[in-house]
Amino acid sequence: FLARNHPAELERYDAACEAMRREEFARFAELQTLGLYLHLQVQQKEAYFRRVRNRLLVAMAVTGVVTGVVLYGYFHPEQALQVGHELLALPGRLAAFAGRLMN
């Protein structure tokens, strides 16, 4: 009916529909780009927080080990000195063991 009786109106209607479709597509593409950008920002922030958390956990572990060694040395000085001497002799023993393995 429109094509027969009102071709100009049909043409204007089609043009308006096409313009609205293009505008919606552009808006959708813009929102999609914004969504990808925000997703990337969230991933970067999560990675940053993971790194900070891991550093904190490592620092806590090192602090615990150092505190344990210091307390052991304070409460058991003789055993701590003996362990220290054994640790100092360890590289020489390892070198001797490696030498025996090579021969």
Residue 1 has pLDDT above 80, yes or no: no
DSSP, collapsed to helix, strand or coil, labels residue 55 as: helix
Q: Which residue range is the domain that position 83 belongs to?
A: 2-102
Q: Count structural domains, the chain.
A: 1
Q: How far apart are CA 85 and CA 74, in angstroms?
A: 16
pLDDT in tens, 2-61: 677 778 888 898 999 999 999 999 889 898 999 999 999 999 999 999 999 999 999 999
Write down the pTM of the prediction. Answer: 0.56
Q: How far apart are CA 10 and CA 1, in angstroms?
A: 10
Beta carbons within 8 Å of 2's beta carbon, 6+ residues apart: 9, 10, 13
